Amino acid sequence: MYKFIQLSIFLENQKGNLYVVTDLLAQNDINIKALFLADTSEFGILRLVVPDYKKAKRVLEEKHYIVKETPVICAVMDDVPGGLSSILKILRDEDIDLEYLYAIAQGEIEKAGLLLHTKDLDQLEEVLLKNDIPLVPSELIYNAE
């Protein structure tokens, strides 16, 4: 109900590669809802959340990109100083080991989305809900267009 798929695309660390991927998705009418790019000296990992991840994966793989599906959860937090640390404190206290996270600000509504991944998403979901942290239902992501 709260888990959704994030795509991780492996990119050679070359000028213009991010444009090529985002343009390819745009040409195929695929909207990007969240994006995070991490790089090393030789390659980058582009993490994307899109409403139609199966179509996006197919389009990218047809162009020979390596694409991995990873389940994530999106928590809703207040977009104020301390909003993030209050959630991280709960996770620390509950001994949740995050593999990574990234945030998306929602602008004028003073809320932000926090995309989270850990080895045990069921435990993460349980802890967040137990502590009254709202989660974004997956159907809001998949029906976003």
One domain for residues 37 and 77 = no
Is residue 44 located within the same domain as residue 80? no
Q: What is the pLDDT of residue 104?
A: 82
How many domains does the chain contain in total?
A: 2
pLDDT at 52 over 90: yes
Give a yes or no: residue 17 inside a domain: yes
Residue pLDDT, tens place only, 8-37: 999 988 889 999 999 999 999 999 989 999
**pLDDT score at 138:** 82
pLDDT in tens, 80-123: 889 999 999 999 999 999 999 998 876 666 788 899 999 999 99
pLDDT at 78: 87
Alpha-helix residue ranges (DSSP H) falling in the chain: 17-27, 53-62, 83-93, 121-130, 138-142
* Nearby residues of 75 by Cβ (< 8 Å), 6 or more positions away: 87, 113, 114, 116, 128, 133, 134, 135, 136
The reply to whether 81 and 107 lie within a common domain is yes
CATH code for the domain in which residue 97 is found: 3.30.70.260
Domain that holds residue 49: 3-71
- Which of residues 71, 101, 120 is at a domain's end? 71
pTM, full prediction = 0.86
pLDDT at 5: 94
| Residues 82 and 97 reside in one and the same domain | yes
Residue 143 in any domain: the answer is no
Strand bridging mode 111-118 / 34-39: unpaired
Conformational region of residue 109, where left means phi above 0, alpha means psi within -120 to 50, and beta covers everything else:
alpha
Tell me the average pLDDT across 60-64.
97
The strand order across the sheet containing 3-12 reads 34-39, 43-49, 3-12, 66-78, 111-118, 98-105
> Over pLDDT 90: what percentage of the chain?
68
The answer to whether the Cα torsion of 133, 137, 142, 145 is positive or negative is: negative
Shared domain for 35 and 58, answered yes or no, is yes
